[in-house]
Amino acid sequence: MLLDHDKAAHVAKVLTEALPYIQRYVGKTLVIKYGGNAMESEELKNSFARDIVSMKAVGINPIVVHGGGPQIGDLLKRLSIESHFINGMRVTDSKTMDVVEMVLGGSVNKEIVSLINQNGGNAIGLTGKDARLIQAKKLNVTHKTSEMAAPEIIDVGQVGEVAGINTNLLNMLVSSDFIPVIAPIGVGDDGTSYNINADLVAGKVAEAVKAEKLMLLTNIAGLLDKEGNILTGLTTQQVDELIENGTIYGGMLPKIQCALDAVKGGVGSALILDGRVANAILLEIFTDKGIGTLITCH
C-alpha cells in the first residue's frame, strides 16, 4: 500500500507523462467500436465507461458505436429462432430484425448510456433511425470458393450497408459536449430497418466525422497470424492474401475491411485492440504501451 504522499506523487507523475498524449488528441474526435464480445464482464463494462468519461473530461470527443452480437444470439436462442452467419454477417429475416432492434436499440444501448452517465458523462443513445443518423441500403453479399467459376449472390435478408451518415446531428451533439452512443441499425429510404455490422457502422461514422482515430475493441489481442502472433502495419495486398488463405475469417472479416476502408477514407489511423484488457482505451491513447493491430494508409 502506498503512503498518501507517495500515492499523490505517483498520480502527478502519471498525469505529467500523459500530458503530451492528451495535447495530441485535445479537440479531436475518436470513434470507438465496443464489441459485444468485449462487453461480457461488469468490471470491463465499467472500465470502458470510465475511459470514455476520462477522454471527454480532458477535451477529447469520443463517439461510441456498439455491437451486441452475443446478446442478440442469446435472445434468439431463448425465442428458438435459429440464426446463421455468412461472411461474418447475421442472416436477418423480419423476425430476427425485430429481435436485433429490441436488443441493440433497447437493452444494450441503454446499458452503455447508463454506465457512462453513472460515471459522470453526458451520453445520449441513438439508433440509425433517430434523425436518420444511419441511412442504409440492402447489402448484397457475394460468396466464392476456389471450385466456383463465378461468385454467387446470397440473400442475407435485412442486412444493410451504410449509404449516408447524418453528420449535422453528430457535430451538433459533439460540440454541445454530449457523447453519442450509436446502435448499428440503419434506415432505408422507405423506412425499412436494416441490421448492420457494428464495425462497418463505426468505420463509416469515423469517415463521416473525419475522426483522428478509429478504435475497434474486440475479444482478441489483435489480428493474428496462424501461429497466434499479432500482425500490424499490413498493406491492403497482405490483408487480401490473409483473407484468401483463410487466416482472416468470421467476425474479423468486417473488422479488417472497415479498418482499411476508414483509413483510405481519411481517418488518421484504425486500431484493432483487446477489449478484455481493463482501461484498454486509455492505455492506448495516453501511453506508449499501445497494443493491438494498427492500420494506417500507405
Ligand X SMILES: CC(=O)N[C@@H](CCC(=O)OP(=O)(O)O)C(=O)O
Closest residue to ligand ADP using C-beta atoms: 251
Per-residue burial over 123-151, b = 16 or more CB atoms within 10 Å of its CB, e = otherwise: bbbbbbbbebbbbbebbebeeeeeeeeee
User: Residues 156 to 215: which contact ligand ADP by CB under 6 A?
Assistant: 199
Contacts of 142 (CB under 8 A, 6+ apart): 151, 152, 153, 154
Asked if 159 and 138 touch (Cβ cutoff 8 Å), the reply is yes
- Helix, strand or coil, per DSSP, at residue 6: helix
Would you count residue 251 as binding ligand X (CB under 6 A)? yes
Which residues sit in the known binding site for substrate?
A: 68-69, 90, 195
Asked if 181 and 111 touch (Cβ cutoff 8 Å), the reply is no
One of 30, 31, 32, 38 touching ligand ADP (CB under 6 A):
38
Query: Would you say 173 or 202 has its CB closer to ligand X?
Result: 202
245-to-49, 242, 283 alpha-carbon distances in Å: 37, 5, 33
One of 50, 52, 55, 68 touching ligand X (CB under 6 A):
68
- Residue 38 contact partner, candidates ligand X, ligand ADP, none, CB within 5 to 8 A by sort of partner: ligand ADP
Place of cell 498525469: 15
Phi, psi of 190, deg, nearest 5: -90, 10
- Residue 195 contact partner, candidates ligand ADP, ligand X, none, CB within 5 to 8 A by sort of partner: ligand X
**Interaxial angle between packed helices 198-208 and 167-175, expressed in degrees from 0 to 180 and rounded to the nearest 10:** 70
Which residues sit in the known binding site?
A: 68-69, 90, 195
One of 171, 219, 232, 279 touching ligand ADP (CB under 6 A):
219
**Segment interacting with ligand ADP, rule: CB under 6 A, options 44-52, 75-83, 142-150, 245-253:** 245-253
**Segment interacting with ligand ADP, rule: CB under 6 A, options 11-19, 78-86, 103-111, 247-255:** 247-255
Query: Would you say 47 or 54 has its CB closer to ligand X?
Result: 47
Query: Would you say 25 or 111 has its CB closer to ligand X?
Result: 111
Grid coordinates in use for 109? 444501448
Site string for ligand X, 162-201 (x = CB under 6 A): ----------------------x----------xxxx---
Would you count residue 259 as binding ligand X (CB under 6 A)? no
The CA distance from 281 to 31, in Å, is: 11
Phi, psi of 37, deg, nearest 5: -75, -20
The CA distance from 97 to 192, in Å, is: 10
Question: What is the contact surface with ligand ADP in residues (CB under 6 A)?
Answer: 35-38, 67, 69, 199, 218-220, 223-224, 247-252, 255
Question: What is the contact surface with ligand X in residues (CB under 6 A)?
Answer: 35-37, 67-69, 72, 89-90, 100, 159, 184, 195-198, 251
